[in-house]
Every structure is written in C-alpha cells, then in structure tokens.
C-alpha cells in the first residue's frame, strides 16, 4: 500500500512538473530563453543553475579573504593609537609599520573590509551572471576570478598595502583594464589577440597561476601555514604546524574535497569549506575561530546574527585615477589584460565546446559577441564595488552537465548569489584553514593545462616552463609572463631575423625584376621610335 502511495505521489509530481514546464516554455520568458528551441525545460534549467551555484559558491569567502590580505582601504591611520608607533605613519620601512603587527584598530578595519568584499563579490557575481543569462542567453556563470585576485592583493597592492600601488590606484587600473578590454571586445579583436599569444605560454600561464594559488594556500594568512620562511633554504616546512589542530582540520577538509572530486560529486569544494568552517564555529575547542578574548567575543556576537544585510561602506567607489600617472601601474595593468584575455576567453571557448554551442566551423558560438561585452562590462562594475576582474567560471560545466542550455541557468545562479547577500555573518566567519585547502584544489584543477604543452619541443617547452615556475618562486604572476615571453622572443630571434632577411631578399629581387622590365620596355620603345635608315 505504501509503495502504491509513493508511486502515485511520484506520478502526480511528474505530471505537475510536465505542466509547469509546458506552461513556462510557452510563456513570453520561455520563448525569450528559447527553452523549446534548445530542447530544455524550466525545471532542468533550475537544477542546472543550483548545481552551478553550489560548485562556485566558494568564491564568496575565498575572494573576500584574498582581497582582504591587501588591506583594502585600511591604512596606518586606522591603527589604534595606543599600539601604533607614531613614527610608522611616516616610515618607509614596513618592518615597523603597525599594519604588519597585531593592532586592534587595523584588525577592525580589516574585518569591515572583508564584510564589504563579501557583499561586493556576491553582487558582482549576481550582476554579471544575470546579464549573461538575459543578454547573451548562455548558461555561463561569472564572478571575480581566481588568479587576478591574488595578483591584485600580493603583487599590485601588496600584503596589507606594502606593495607599489595603493588600493585605490589598483582599483582604477582594474576599471581601466575592463574598459580597454570592453573596447577590444566591441571591435571584435578579442579572439585574434588571444591567438597571437604563443600557445605554450597561454597554457603555462594558467598552470603557473595554479601553482601560485596553491603556494598561497600552503602558507599562513590565507592558508594552512604548512610552509614558512627559512634563512637557509628560503622556504621550508614550518615545524610548529604539525602540532596545530587547525592544520589537521584543514587536511580533513582537503581530503573531503578531493574525495568528492574523485567521485564526481558536484559542490565538493564548498562541502570541504563548509565542513571545516562549521567545526571551527564551535567555541571551547582547540580549532575554534572564536577564542575567549574580547575580539573573539565580538566576532562570535556578529556570527550569531546569521542573517544580516551588510552595506558596502569602505570599498565602493575607491578608485584613484590620479595614481595612474605612476609608471608602476602599467606593467600590472597589461598583466591583468593579458590574464583576462587568456582566462575569460579561453574559459568561454572551452565551455562552449563542452556544451555543444560552437558553430560547425568551430570559429565561435551563438551569443559570443554579447557574451564578450557582458563579462568585460562586469569588470568595470566589479571595480566600482572594490573587487577585481570578472571572469566566466569553468564550474559552469557542472550546470551544463545537469542539462542547462539557456540563460535561465545563469539567472538561477544570480539568484543564489543574491540570497547569499543576507548571510554575511556566516560568510565572513570562514577561517583561513578552510580557505587554504580550497586554494590548493583550485591550483590542482588549473594544472590540467600542462598536459597539452609540447614538452618534447624545446622552443615551446622552455618559455612555458619559465612562465610556470617563476610565478610561485618570485611570487609574481607578472614576472612569470614577462620571462616566458622574453624567452620565446630570444629563442625565435634567429627565425625572425632570417624571415626579415628573406623578405628583404624577395623585395630586392622584385624591385630588380621591375627595373629590368622597365628598362626593356624603354629600349623597345626607343627602337620603334627611331627613323628607318
């Protein structure tokens, strides 16, 4: 009897779902999103959108944590007077700067900045995803990209503002890069520029950024603190790490994430982060995020709110375009543009190929031009709110695998990010030992590009290896790219010179033949004009 009842309920649910799908497909929104034309349904798009959101929701906490490392708009002026060294306000040496020491005032500023960046990340992802769905009608989800955020925090602004650029100047550079990228996309030059970059360097850049992120996840700050500095070997295993319970909790989260990925479970990364975070939220444990201190009590009081909408107070509209006069801006700006061209364009083509959206000639996909304009425009909006460049997430393939074929999938993803805006207390309470393993996993996923490099061909392998290895070892994405391109030019210099010499030779021969023809014609003309003897 029970089985018959369950069977009847299931059948009734299927009929109701079919009626709902038919109703939506024939409605104006259904026709706009081409549900029937692309052989999809409303409920299938809904499931696809939820799947994509779950697989990429980790970016809210990870991106905000990485960008907070830059210090955001916080300066030495935010330090508590009783602990700040007055000389540090005018000191050029970072060693005696209050930003690099534990300071209650600066920590409060960082906490507010992180809350702002949680909201900025979610809003940027929501705006970009809903624009992609409604304008380009593609099941592509967008959010501030990994790699660009690390470059912004650790190379452009520097840890707690100790780099060459201020937070405002760096944001202005991101917005300018977005504008330039929009102009390039509008002219239809985006794909051509991507193809101009040597293939080996394109592939190695993604892998190098993956190593950079993994190295960051293994350090203290935004990682599990497994590795640290060494006076003799520069970097080494931190001997005190293995005795810290938080490290082993992070390892457990990493194993959980890796197991989910190995078994094809969607959302494995967010599950690992959630597991570590939830365990760390319990007080009176060795791994608690809320120690029995005044700061721990304040953080726990905010965490207990669970639901709270946080307005962006510190990071919005902080661009300093006057700082663009600084020459130190232009190399990072070009690096951002380079990474954006490779990352976003490459991801879009890969996802379009996976989803079967490419044309028969394999030269593009439906809605490509509008999709390019959406993601570049989203970067401008993202910079205005205080975060970094927006990119198309490869996690979109999870939703496509669930049957997503239209922009309705992206709209559902956007709805997920909007809902996340109301859980700022939870999202800002994710510990670094939960974020670090996620960075290592992201790095691992980006290493898949290495297999496509022609390692047997030295002309491609040497520049690619330099690009890849120098990013983590110099802790600079720009250094790796510059070294790779420089080596590519050096290796191919003989070929370039030989090609120019051949061109000059052909030009000289063509000019010589032309002169001979002209001389012959003139001689012929003179002979005909001469009077007979």
Question: pLDDT (tens digit, 9 = 90+) per residue, 35-44?
Answer: 998 888 999 9
pLDDT of residue 525: 61
pLDDT of residue 42: 93
Could you tell me the pLDDT band of residue 340, with boundaries at 50, 70 and 90? Answer: confident
pLDDT value at 90 more than 50: no
Distance CA 508, CA 514 (A): 10
What does 416-475 look like in DSSP terms, one character per residue? HHHHHTTBHHHHTT--HHHHHHHHHHHHHHHGGGGGGS-TT-HHHHHHHHHHHHHHHHTT
pLDDT of residue 446: 81
Distance CA 380, CA 382 (A): 5
Specify the higher pLDDT residue, 262 or 446: 262
User: Within a 10 A sphere around the Cβ of 508, how many other Cβ atoms?
Assistant: 10
Rounded to the nearest angstrom, the gap between the alpha carbon of residue 384 and the centroid of all alpha carbons in its chain is 17
43-79: buried (b, 16+ CB within 10 Å) or exposed (e) per residue? ebbbbbbbbbbbbbbbbbbbbbbbbbbbbbbbbbebb
392 sits in which H/E element:
strand 390-392
Distance CA 214, CA 206 (A): 12
Q: CA-CA-CA-CA torsion for 22, 23, 28, 31, nearest 10 degrees?
A: 0
Most confident of the following: 347-361, 431-445, 503-517: 431-445
Instruction: Calculate the alpha carbon distances from 505 to 45, 127, 385 in Å.
Output: 61, 56, 56
Distance CA 193, CA 407 (A): 27
Distance CA 444, CA 515 (A): 63
- Name the 3-class secondary structure at 166: coil
Average pLDDT over residues 481-490: 90
HEC sequence for 92-104: CCHHHCHHHCCCH
- What pTM value is reported for the model? 0.79
Could you tell me the pLDDT band of residue 92, with boundaries at 50, 70 and 90? Answer: very low
**By percentage, how much of the chain surpasses pLDDT 90?**
40
Distance CA 357, CA 474 (A): 39
pLDDT of residue 109: 93
CB half-sphere exposure, 302, CA atoms < 13 A: 21
pLDDT of residue 506: 81
Residue in this structure with the two tokens 């977005």, named with its chain if needed: 178
Average pLDDT over residues 48-58: 88
pLDDT value at 89 more than 60: no
Q: Where are the alpha helices (DSSP H) in 321-392?
A: 330-355, 368-385
Domain extents for the chain?
29-76+102-447, 456-510
Smallest CA-to-CA distance from 436 within 238, 204, 296 is with 238
Rounded to the nearest angstrom, the gap between the alpha carbon of residue 233 and the centroid of all alpha carbons in its chain is 31
> 210 is written with which tokens?
């993956």
pLDDT of residue 411: 96
pLDDT value at 285 more than 50: yes
Question: pLDDT (tens digit, 9 = 90+) per residue, 389-425?
Answer: 999 988 888 888 888 899 999 999 999 999 999 988 8
């Amino acid at each position: 009897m029970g089985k018959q009842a369950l069977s009847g309920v299931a059948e009734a649910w299927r009929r109701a779902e079919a009626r709902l799908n038919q109703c939506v497909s024939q409605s104006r929104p259904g026709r706009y999103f081409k549900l029937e034309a692309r052989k999809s349904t409303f409920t299938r798009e809904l499931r696809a959108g939820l799947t994509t959101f779950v697989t990429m929701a980790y970016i809210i906490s990870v991106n905000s944590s990485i960008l907070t490392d830059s210090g955001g708009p916080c300066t030495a002026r935010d330090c508590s007077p009783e602990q700040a060294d007055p000389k540090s306000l005018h000191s050029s040496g970072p060693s005696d700067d209050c930003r690099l020491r534990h300071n209650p005032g600066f920590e409060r500023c960082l906490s507010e900045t992180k809350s702002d960046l949680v909201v900025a990340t979610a809003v940027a992802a929501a705006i970009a995803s809903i624009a992609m769905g409604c304008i380009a009608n593609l099941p592509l989800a967008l959010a501030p990209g990994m790699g660009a955020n690390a470059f912004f925090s650790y190379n452009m602004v520097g840890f707690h503002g100790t780099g060459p650029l201020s937070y405002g100047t760096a944001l202005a550079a991101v917005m300018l890069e977005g504008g330039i990228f929009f102009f390039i996309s509008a002219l239809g030059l985006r794909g051509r520029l991507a193809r101009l970059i040597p293939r080996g360097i394109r592939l190695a850049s993604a892998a190098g950024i993956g190593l950079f992120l993994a190295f960051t996840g293994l350090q203290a700050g935004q990682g599990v603190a497994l590795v640290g500095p060494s006076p003799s070997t520069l970097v080494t295993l931190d001997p005190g790490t293995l005795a810290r319970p938080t490290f082993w909790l992070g390892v457990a989260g990493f194993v959980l994430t890796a197991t989910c990925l190995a078994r094809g479970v969607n959302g494995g990364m967010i599950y690992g982060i959630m597991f570590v975070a939830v365990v760390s939220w319990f007080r009176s444990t060795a791994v608690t995020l809320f120690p029995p201190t005044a700061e721990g009590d304040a953080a726990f009081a905010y965490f207990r709110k669970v639901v709270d909408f946080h307005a962006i107070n510190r990071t919005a509209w902080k661009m300093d375009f006057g700082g663009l006069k600084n020459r130190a801006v232009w190399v990072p700006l070009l690096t951002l543009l380079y990474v954006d061209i490779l990352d976003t364009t490459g991801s879009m083509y890969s996802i379009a190929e996976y989803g079967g959206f490419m044309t028969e000639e394999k030269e593009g996909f439906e809605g490509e031009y509008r999709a390019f304009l959406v993601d570049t425009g989203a970067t401008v909006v993202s910079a205005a709110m205080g975060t970094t460049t927006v990119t198309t997430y490869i996690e979109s393939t999870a939703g496509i695998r669930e049957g997503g074929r239209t922009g309705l999938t992206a709209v559902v993803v956007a709805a997920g990010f909007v809902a996340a805006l109301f859980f700022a207390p939870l999202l800002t309470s994710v510990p670094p030992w939960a974020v670090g393993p996620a960075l290592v996993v992201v790095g691992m996923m980006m290493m898949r590009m290495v297999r496509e490099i022609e390692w047997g061909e030295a002309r491609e392998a040497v520049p690619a290896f330099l690009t890849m290895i120098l990013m983590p070892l110099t802790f600079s994405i720009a250094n790796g790219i510059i070294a790779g391109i420089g080596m590519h030019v050096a290796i191919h210099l003989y070929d370039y010179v030989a090609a120019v010499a051949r061109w000059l030779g052909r030009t000289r021969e063509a000019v010589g033949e032309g002169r001979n023809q002209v001389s012959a014609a003139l001689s012929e003309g003179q002979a005909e004009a001469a009077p007979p003897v």
